[in-house]
Amino acid sequence: MALMVLGTLPAWLTLTATVTAVVVTMALIAATAVLSFRLARSRREQNERETTLTKFSSAVMNSGAMILITDSQGRIEFVNDRFCQLTAFSRDEVLGHSVATLSATVNLAGTETGVLTNFLDCLQPHWKGELLCRTNGSTPLWTAVTTSSVLDDDGEPVNYIVSAVDITELKLAHERMEQLALFDSLTNLANRRLFQDRLEQALQSVARRQTQIALLFLDLDQFKQVNDSLGHDAGDMLLLTVADRLKSCVRAQDTVARLGGDEFTILLHDVSDTKDLTMIAENMLASLKAPIRLKGQEVLISTSIGITTAPADGETPDTLMKNADLALYRAKDKGRDQYDFYTESLNDRAEQLMTLERELRHGLRREEFFLLFQPQVDLNTGDITAMEALIRWQHPERGEILPDEFIPVAEDTGLIMPLGNWVLQQACMQIKLLHQLLGRGVRVAVNISARQFRDPGLENVIDFALRTSGLEPRFLEIDIHEGMLSDEPEVARDQLARIRRTGVTITIDDFGTGFSSLRQLRSLPVDMLKIGQTFVKEIPQDGPNTDIATTIIGIAQQMEKQVVAEGVETEQQEYFLRMHGCSLVQGYRYAPPMSFDELYRYFSDDSERELKA
Ligand code: C2E
Ligand code: MG
C-alpha cells in the first residue's frame, strides 16, 4: 500500500512519507516491544518483589535479633521467633498488647545512666540504646535496641520496628568486672578505689550543699592473732561478720569500705553534729564487741576508730584520710575499744614525731643514749637473780626521755636496729664489767623489739655481743614481748630456737597481753614468763586482772617455767604473789632502775646479798 501512494506523490513528499511510515512502523514496533517488555518486567518485578518479601519475612522471622513491630501507639503487631525464644512469651501472649508490658520492673538505681527500663521510651523514629526487657521467667533480659519507624504520607510514624540483640552475657561480664574493680571480693564492701570516688563526690557536694560529712577509719585490734591462731578461713569469717555489723550501724546512703586487711573506712553523709557521730561510733564499738563464733570458739575482738569531719577538718580526700588515720592512732593509744576525733594537735603530733625521728638519728650519732638496770629479786632468798637493762635518752634540750616515747618511733623508722644492737652490746659489756668488779656473776635481761625479733640475723647479733664482751651466754636473758609471738607462730618458734642455740635464757615479757594459745606456748622454747605491770597493778583488788595474774602463775607452774612479776610496788602485791607461788619480783618496792654506778654501789653496799645467776 505504501508503494502505491509513492507512485502518485512528488518525490520529496514520497521520501518524507516513506520515512514517516518507517518511523511510525518502528515506533509501533518499539511501543509493542516496550509494552510487552514492560509487561514482562512488571511480572518479573512482581515475582522479584514477592521473592524479596518472602526472603525478608523469612530473614525477619529467623533473625538472630529479636524483632518486634508495633503500631504508632506501641501495640505489638508482630514479633519474630527469636523474640519468643528469648522472652519465653508466646505470640498470643504479646500480640495486641502494648510494649509497655515488656518493661522490666527491676529497680535500676545506681546503674549507669542512659539505660531505659520503660519499653515505650524507645519507640522513637531513630533510637539506639540499652534496654532491660521483661521476660516470662524470673530474670530480665538485657538488650541492645535499634528502633526505626515507617512513616505515612504526612511523615507521621505508623509503625515502629524494634530490633534488639541479647547482651545479657556481656552485661553480666561487665558487671562482674566492675564488681571486681570497685568492690572487695571477700566482703562485697566498696574497695579503696570506690571509696575514694565516693569521698571525692561527697566533698564536692559538701561544698555545693553546705553539709557536713564524716570519715571514720577503723581497725581491729587482734585480727592478725585470730588469723594466725585460727587460720585464714576463720579470719575471713571474722571480716565478713565485721562487715555485716558495720553495715547495720549506718544508713543506706553511707558507704562502708574495706581498704584491705582489717582496715575499714566509713563515709557518713549529712552529719548534723558531734553527738551524732559519738553515738554512731559507740554503736559500732558495742556491736563489734559481741562475741563472734569461729570454728566452734567464741572470739572477742576489740576495735579502734578514728574520726574526722569535712569541711571543718579538711577538704581533700588525702587530708581526711590522713586525719582519720592520726585520730585512729590516738584512739589506739587510749587502749582497746576506743574512738577519737581528729584535732589540730594531732597534726602537731605528726610533726613532733618527724622531729623526734630526726633527733633520734642525731642522738645515735652523738651517743646520747644510756642504760639503767633494775634488779629482779627472789622473795624466798632475797637474792638478786637478774637485772633488766632499760634504755634512756639524754636529750640535749629535753633532758631524759623514757623509752615508751622513742622506741615506737625507732621501731617505725628502722632506727631500732642500730639502737637495739647498741643496747645488746652495752648491756653485755657493762654486766661483764660488773662481774669483774664484784668477782661474781649476775644475769642481765635485754628487751628486744618486734623488728629486731623479725631479723633473721638476730642470733648472730646476740652471738657477736656475747663474744666481744666476753659475757657467758647463761648471763644474758632476752625479753620478747608476747605480742611478737602470735604474728607468725611458726616463724617465731624457729627464731626462738635459733636464739636459744646461743645459750641465752628467753623470757616472754608482758605475758597475758598477747594472744598466744596454751598449745602454742607449750611448744615454744622459752624459760620464763613475765606478768606485766597492768595485771600486777590490780592486785590485791578483785577483778579480771587479778584472775589473769593467778592464771599466768598457774600456767607457768604447769609448764614448769619460771614466772616473774613486774611493777611490784606494795606489800599487798608482794603478799598476793607470794601466796600464789610467784616468788620472783621486780619493781620500785625493791629497787628503781639504776645507773651503772648506782648499781655497783647497790651491790657493794649490801655485801650480805648473794648473787645468783
Ligand atoms: P618493760 O620491759 O615492761 O619494762 C619495765 C618497765 O616498768 C620499765 O619502764 C620500768 O622502769 C618500769 N617499772 C619498773 N618497776 C616499776 C614499778 O614498780 N612501777 C611502775 N609503774 N613501773 C615500773 P621503762 O624503763 O620506761 O620501759 C618501758 C618499756 O620500754 C619497757 O617495758 C620495754 O618494753 C621498753 N624498753 C625499755 N628499754 C628497752 C630497750 O633497750 N629496747 C627495747 N626494744 N625496748 C625497751
Ligand atoms: Mg621487759
Output the pLDDT for position 112. 44
Query: Coil, strand, or helix at residue 207?
Result: helix
d(CA 398, CA 405): 12
Ion ligand 2, residue ranges at CB < 5 A: 447, 479, 509
For residue 136, is pLDDT > 70?
A: yes
Look up the pTM and report it.
0.56
d(CA 323, CA 203): 15
Kindly report, residue by residue over 3-54, the tens digit of the pLDDT: 343 444 444 444 444 545 555 555 555 556 666 767 777 788 888 888 887 8
Which top CATH class is 194-342?
Answer: alpha beta
**Ligand 1: which residues within 6 Å by Cβ?**
374, 390-391, 402-404, 407, 420, 423, 447-449, 479, 509-510, 533, 566-569, 587-588, 593
- The dihedrals phi and psi of 148, each to the nearest 5 degrees, come to -130, 170
How far the first Cα of the chain sits from its last, in Å, is 157
Phi-psi region of 48 (alpha: psi -120 to 50; beta: other; left: phi over 0): alpha
Q: Contact 423/391 with Cβ under 8 angstroms?
A: yes
CATH of domain 9-175: 3.30.450.20
Report which bound ligand comes closest to the CA of 478: 2
**Centre of ligand 2 from the C-alpha of residue 317, in Å:** 41
Band the pLDDT of 362: cuts 50, 70, 90: very high
Residues forming beta bridges with residue 161, ordered by sequence position:
69, 148
Which ligand neighbours the alpha carbon of 451 most closely? 1
Nearest Cα residue to atom 12 of ligand 1 = 567
Residue 569 has pLDDT above 70, yes or no: yes
Rounded to the nearest whole angstrom, what is the distance from the C-alpha of residue 127 to the centroid of ligand 2?
Answer: 76
pLDDT at residue number 534: 84
d(CA 212, CA 216): 13
Distance CA(343)–CA(324), nearest Å, equals 10
Average pLDDT over residues 344-349: 78
H/E segment holding residue 294: strand 292-294
* Residue of the CA atom closest to atom 17 of ligand 1: 567
Among 3.30.1600.10, 3.40.50.2300, 3.20.20.450, 3.30.420.40, name the CATH number for the domain at 366-604. 3.20.20.450
Range with the poorest average pLDDT among 167-181, 310-324, 391-405: 167-181
At 225, is the pLDDT very low, low, confident or very high (cuts 50, 70, 90)?
confident
Protein residue whose Cα sits closest to atom 11 of ligand 1: 593
CA distances from residue 237 to 75, 146, 202, 256, 292 in whole angstroms, order as listed: 53, 47, 31, 17, 9
Question: Which ligand neighbours the alpha carbon of 566 most closely?
Answer: 1
Alpha carbon of 458 to ligand 1 centroid (Å): 21
Q: How many angstroms is it from 509 CA to the middle of ligand 2?
A: 6
Name the strand (E) or helix (H) holding 519: helix 518-522
Q: Map out the domains of the chain as residue ranges.
A: 9-175, 194-342, 366-604
pLDDT for 21 equals: 52
**Which of 517, 520, 521 has its CA nearest to residue 529?**
521
Cβ atoms within 10 A of the Cβ of 560, count? 7
Residue 117 has pLDDT above 70, yes or no: no
- pLDDT (average), residues 562-568: 95
Residue 222 has pLDDT above 70, yes or no: yes
Q: CA of 305: how far to CAs of 193, 200, 277, 328, 330, in Å?
A: 21, 21, 11, 5, 9
Instruction: Determine the pLDDT at residue 613.
Output: 40
Element (H, E) at 284: helix 274-289
> Given a cut of 90, is residue 321 above it in pLDDT?
yes
Q: What is the pLDDT of residues 446-475, one digit of tens each?
A: 999 999 999 999 999 999 999 999 999 999
**Mind giving me the DSSP string for 32-61?**
HHHHHHHHHHHHHHHHHHHHHHHHHHHHHH
C-alpha cell at 329: 592512732
H/E stretch holding 565: strand 562-565
Q: How far apart are CA 346 and CA 333, in angstroms?
A: 12
